[in-house]
């Protein structure tokens, strides 16, 4: 895309956002930055074209130029962002005067006759003094036209100016003042509650401040965050973790606050995990740290611990974080002497979808330990939606460990593609006899039918319906029972 096309697209987006979504500061900043980048090296000329009999009813840049009677705009190379923003605000408005500056030159359409909608010339003030007060032609009523003025008239630099109040931001001054008062009130509540150890009130105040952060003006957000972190002592962070451990209803809100706090909260939670299995709150700990990418350097040292439970916690957390670099850290766990550590490492590798996990999962599927092979089957079922599913088909004929074989079948059933459903159908229909020793026992065939019910995919359901019609004996009966159970859940 050339610079002119990029400028027209991004500057048009900015004008549209200012017109229909004026409070979306983040999107406006992105569009403004892209427009500035498009004219950073070379100038751009935008022409509205010949006047149309009907102005297009859309938010495109050409439509706004025609609506505001702008014939052409010349933007010099290196135009400042505030110049482009002033022009965009004027184009998004219906009456604000179109500005022109050295780097942004605007050429208006020369009309011999005033266009429709332009007010007539003002009358003599002496004659108007005796006439009744009427609504002015501007966007809003003048001060004298208001029957009940709501607040005192602004003075000095905050004085309301009808034509440019969108440009100078005067409309937001009262909102910012109210927000500043609310922030001061919440900080006072936070400090008072921390001193009195009312931790539920501390959680409510911090959560309100964290959720207020996107509404704070962009220039003040960094200092706002610094001041809030300083207002939360370490003992308050520890108390919030304790509060979430004791009351499951508060865990979602506490997790949101702890993720925002960042590494200080991560250190406290990792210390709790290092103390033991943390059975009751382990899921909560994993959810908090799994949504905190900055905790990665704090988690990897757990893999070198001498305590198996710490290694398992580290592997599970790396799987939640999902960073590709963690695969190289997890592969050595596949040869660990502790079976539970090997299983945790394989499962974590299966949760990292952006890395080169295919080869480690193949190796785990051929591991001498049956439980490790079973974990590999489950990991393959979830890795990238089961793209390695065909690796699970061949071991069906050679696997002798019962739990590992069932893990293979269940993994094929959860994937639910046409290929995996066909493989399970072959297992269900291949009966072992005295003459054919390569078949499957009755228990294995029924397990394949039950695995088809683990997925609600059309391929799995179609296979079950075919077995219910064409199979014989217990396989047909089992397929019909699985279909009946699905219909009961649906109804």
DSSP string computed for 322-335: T-TTHHHHHGGGGG
What's the whole-number mean pLDDT along residues 405-429?
95
Residue 453 covered by a domain: yes
Q: Which of 13-22, 117-126, 296-305 has the highest mean pLDDT?
A: 296-305
- What's residue 173's pLDDT? 72
Q: What is the pLDDT of residue 28?
A: 87
Q: Which residue has the higher pLDDT, 309 or 158?
A: 309
Least confident of 64-73, 127-136, 187-196, 419-428: 127-136
Q: Residue 143: inside a domain, yes or no?
A: no
Residue 18: Cβ-neighbour burial (10 angstroms; 0-12, 13-18, 19+):
buried
Task: Please compute, for residue 236, the number of CA atoms within 13 A of its CA located in the half-sphere on the CB side.
Answer: 26
- Please tell me the least confidently modeled range out of 158-162, 243-247, 367-371: 158-162
Residue 326 belongs to some domain of the structure:
no
Which pair of structure tokens corresponds to residue 195?
């001193």
Q: What pTM was computed for the model?
A: 0.64
CA atoms within 13 A on the CB side of 48: 23
Domain boundary among 55, 85, 108: 108
Which DSSP category does 216 fall into? Answer: S
Lowest mean pLDDT among 206-215, 355-364, 433-442: 433-442
What would the mean pLDDT of 65-85 be, rounded to a whole number? Answer: 87
Could you tell me the two tokens for 7? 């400028």
Residue carrying structure tokens 């080169």: 356
Domain boundary among 261, 284, 305: 261
Specify the pLDDT at position 129: 43
Tell me which residue range forms the domain holding 421: 416-491
Region 1-13: mean pLDDT is 85
What mean pLDDT is reported for the chain? 85
pLDDT above 80 for 475: yes
CB distance 376 to 346 below 8 Å: yes
The pLDDT of residue 122 is above 50: no
Is 100 in the same domain as 9?
yes
Describe the strand order of the beta sheet including 70-75 as a list of residue ranges: 44-47, 70-75, 104-108
| 278 vs 95, higher pLDDT | 95
Query: What does the pLDDT read at residue 20?
Result: 83
The predicted pLDDT at position 228 comes to 94
Alpha carbons 312 and 348: distance in angstroms, whole number? 10
Structural domain contains residue 448: yes
Render pLDDT for 31-58 as a digit per residue (tens, 0 to 9).
888 888 888 888 988 887 644 444 454 5
Residue 54: predicted pLDDT: 43
Boundary residue ending a domain (227, 261, 295): 261
Alpha helices of 196-323 — where are they, by DSSP H? Answer: 199-212, 221-231, 234-246, 251-261, 263-274, 282-290, 296-299, 308-321
Confidence of residue 440 (pLDDT cuts 50, 70, 90): very high
Task: Please give the average per-residue pLDDT across 98-119, as a whole number.
Answer: 70
Residue 27, pLDDT score = 84
pLDDT classification of 437: cutoffs 50, 70, 90? low
d(CA 274, CA 199) in angstroms, rounded, equals 24
Task: Extract the runs of DSSP E, i.e. beta strands, from 2-115.
Answer: 44-47, 70-75, 104-108
Residue 94 CA, distance from chain mean position: 35
pLDDT at 58 (0 to 100)? 54
Kindly state whether residue 307 falls inside one of the protein's structural domains. Answer: no
Is residue 113 very low, low, confident or very high in pLDDT (cuts 50, 70, 90)? Answer: very low
pLDDT band at 78 (very low <50, low <70, confident <90, very high): confident
Whole-number percent of the chain with pLDDT over 90: 56
**Which range among 162-166, 210-214, 308-312, 452-456 shows the weakest confidence by mean pLDDT?**
162-166
Within this chain, do residues 104 and 193 fall inside the same structural domain, yes or no?
Answer: no
**Is 206 within the bounds of a domain?**
yes
pLDDT of 128 higher than 50? no
Residue 44 in domain? yes
Q: What percent of the chain has pLDDT over 70?
A: 84
| pLDDT value at residue 281 | 87
DSSP lists the bridge partners of residue 107 as: 72
Whether residue 347 lies inside any domain: the answer is no
Whether the Cβ atoms of residue 448 and residue 424 lie closer than 8 Å to each other: yes
pLDDT at 484: 93
Distance (Å, rounded) from C-alpha 444 to C-alpha 430? 10
Tell which wins on pLDDT, 464 or 154.
464
pLDDT at 155 (0 to 100): 53
Q: Is there a single domain that holds both residue 103 and residue 191?
A: no
Please count the other Cβ atoms lying within 10 Å of the Cβ belonging to residue 302: 21
Regarding whether 104 and 190 lie in a shared domain, the answer is: no
| Number of compact structural domains in the chain | 3
Residue 295 in this model has a pLDDT that exceeds 90? yes
Confidence of residue 130 (pLDDT cuts 50, 70, 90): very low
Pair (101, 11) in one structural domain? yes
Beta-bridge partner residues of 74 = 45, 105
Q: Residue 139: what pLDDT?
A: 53
Q: Does 311 score more than 90 pLDDT?
A: yes
Where residue 355 falls among pLDDT bands split at 50, 70, 90? confident
**Which pLDDT value is given to residue 65?**
86
**Residue 64 pLDDT:** 84
Mean pLDDT is lowest, of 275-289, 357-371, 393-407, 453-467, for 275-289
Nearest CA among 9, 7, 13 for reference residue 28? 13
* pLDDT at position 88 over 60: yes
Whole-number Å distance between alpha carbons of 178 and 190: 18
């Amino acid at each position: 895309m050339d610079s002119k096309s990029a400028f027209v697209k991004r500057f048009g987006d900015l004008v549209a956002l200012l017109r229909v979504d004026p409070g979306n500061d983040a999107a406006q900043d992105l569009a403004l930055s892209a427009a500035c980048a498009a004219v950073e090296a070379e100038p751009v000329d935008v022409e509205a074209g010949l006047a149309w009999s009907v102005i297009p009813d859309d938010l495109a840049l050409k439509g706004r130029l025609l609506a505001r009677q702008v014939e052409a705009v010349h933007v010099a190379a290196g135009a400042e962002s505030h110049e482009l923003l002033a022009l965009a605000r004027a184009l998004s408005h219906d009456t604000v005067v179109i500005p022109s500056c050295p780097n942004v030159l605007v050429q208006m359409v020369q009309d011999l006759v005033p266009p429709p909608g332009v007010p007539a010339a003002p009358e003599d003030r002496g004659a108007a003094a005796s006439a009744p007060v009427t609504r002015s032609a501007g966007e809003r009523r003048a001060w004298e036209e208001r029957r009940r003025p709501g607040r005192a008239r602004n003075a000095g630099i905050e004085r309301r100016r009808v034509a440019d109040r969108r440009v100078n931001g005067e409309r937001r001054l009262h909102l910012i003042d109210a927000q500043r008062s609310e922030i001061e009130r919440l900080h006072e509540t936070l400090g008072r509650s921390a001193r009195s150890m009312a931790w539920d009130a501390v959680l409510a105040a911090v959560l309100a401040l964290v959720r207020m952060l996107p509404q704070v003006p962009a220039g003040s957000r960094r200092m706002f965050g610094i001041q809030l972190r300083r207002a939360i002592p370490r003992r308050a962070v520890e108390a919030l973790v304790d509060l979430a451990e004791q009351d499951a209803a508060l865990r979602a809100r506490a997790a949101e606050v702890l993720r925002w706090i960042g590494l200080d909260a991560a250190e406290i939670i990792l210390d709790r995990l290092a103390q033991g299995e943390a059975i009751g709150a382990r899921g909560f700990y994993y959810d908090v740290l799994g949504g905190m990418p900055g905790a990665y350097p704090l988690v990897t040292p757990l893999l070198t611990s001498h305590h198996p439970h710490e290694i398992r916690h580290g592997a599970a957390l790396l799987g939640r974080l999902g960073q590709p670099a963690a695969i190289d850290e997890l592969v050595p766990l596949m040869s660990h002497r502790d079976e539970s550590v090997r299983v945790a490492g394989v499962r974590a590798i299966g949760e990292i979808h952006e890395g080169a996990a295919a080869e480690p999962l193949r190796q785990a599927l051929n591991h001498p330990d049956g439980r490790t092979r079973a974990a590999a089957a489950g990991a393959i079922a979830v890795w990238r939606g089961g793209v390695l599913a065909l690796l699970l088909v061949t071991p069906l004929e050679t696997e002798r460990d019962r739990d590992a074989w069932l893990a293979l079948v269940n993994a094929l059933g959860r994937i639910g593609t046409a290929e995996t459903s066909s493989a399970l159908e072959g297992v269900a229909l291949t009966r072992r006899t005295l003459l054919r020793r390569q078949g499957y026992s009755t228990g294995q065939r029924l397990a394949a039918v039950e695995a088809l019910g683990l997925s609600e995919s059309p391929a799995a359901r179609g296979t079950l319906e075919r077995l219910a019609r064409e199979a014989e004996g217990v396989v047909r009966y089992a397929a019909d029972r699985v279909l009946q159970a699905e219909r009961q859940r649906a109804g």
